[in-house]
Amino acid sequence: MGETIIFHIDVNSAFLSWEAVYRKQQLGEETDLRDIPSAVGGDISKRHGIILAKSVPAKKYDIRTGEPVVDALRKCPGLVLVPPNFEVYQKSSEAFLEILRKYSDKVEQYSIDEAFMDMTGTERLFGMPVEAATRIKDEIYHTLGFTVNVGISSNKLLAKMASDFRKPNLVHTLFPDEIEKKMWPLPVRDLFFVGKASEKKLQSLGIRTIGELAKADVNLLKTVLKKHGEVIWNFANGRDAAKLEAEPVDNKGYGNSTTLSFDVTDAQTAKSVLLSLTETVGIRLRRDHARIEVVSVTVRYNDFSENSHQMALKAATNITNEIYDVACKLFDELWDGNPIRLLGVSTSKATKQETGRQLSLFDNTDYEKLEKLDKAIDSIREKYGMDAIQRASVLNKKESGKTH
């Protein structure tokens, strides 16, 4: 087998692109949000919330992801602001991943709009790496209507760095022999895992480029930045030992997570994301005729610290509402109020055997009715799309949001 070939595929301006495609193709709107100053996020009627994604024309007004809607509207009073639709984004993400799996059986979903692929040894099937990447990129655009960047290298870190080069709709390589020319001249803040706090500490040491970090004394970096200093020093030198973790065909557990393109700072938004994640987990469980007995929730903060909790259920289930209620309870126990960068819902102890449910005098839940509801929702979505029907829990959240 030849050199390892890893692709990192990143959807360009994902939420904004997916929203634009949905509005044009499903709602028949003539205006393409990508062609005008526009953004996803916030409450349009109350002019609050934050910007989740913005169009390329909006960048000319210095509108930034994560900034308050009020500030964005002050910079660009004519900004077209649309509310987020996580169900549409999840459906778009699934369609995107489905295309990737046509080219490789080793696909790792990294977030809702990013994935890694192991393309080692596929040259005879799809051509040399750049040719194959271009083919994938073009198929996604012609089939789904949005663009992606593809980064190519021999490890995950360098592939991810490559996909962040000039955008949109481009393919870039960053192999080890290209690091000095393509990566080292970049500002140190462009290196994966270097946040604002790390950047300040590095600048205090006179380190301003990735190349200067790569050549720095690793012991000095460890003194100032502890273990993190050694990690980013290795990254600056193009070293990454992380293996691509493709989802096994026969799941022992079912899960989904997303690295958010903005910092979530309120429970309502976090729980909307959790519902979207739980929906996809529930759909996959029911599709495989499987049930799970343990639910876990993971929260990663913007400083890369991470917490997770899990809970064993009284009975195996594949009911979305039941899994979601547990996920929300775990989230409330977990969250310490700090800005959230990643949310994940995972399950374990999966079984395909029918297991009885212990009845309780204090539990009036009609589980049979909930199972029938899930099956009905699944069939409607299978026929008309994920956005064809919304759960009452989503609508209730939207209504409650209007009263605050």
Show which residues are catalytic: 114
Question: Do 41 and 52 meet the contact criterion of CB atoms below 8 Å apart?
Answer: yes
Q: Cα–Cα distance between 39 and 36 in angstroms, integer? A: 9
CB atoms within 10 A of CB 278: 27
HEC profile of 61-125: CCCCCCCEHHHHHHHCCCCEEECCCHHHHHHHHHHHHHHHHHHCCCEEEEECCEEEEECCCCHHH
- Which token pair is 289? 């005729």
Pairing between β-strand 114-118 and β-strand 148-153 as defined by DSSP bridges: unpaired
Q: Cα–Cα distance between 155 and 173 in angstroms, integer? A: 11
Write phi, then psi, for 177 (nearest 5 degrees).
-75, 0
- Least Cα distance to 105 among 94, 120, 93, 91 occurs for 120
CB atoms within 10 A of CB 223: 10
Q: Which helix (H) or strand (E) holds 386?
A: none
Q: Cα–Cα distance between 64 and 85 in angstroms, integer? A: 19
CB atoms within 10 A of CB 177: 9
Tracing tokens 């009845």 back to the chain, one arrives at 359
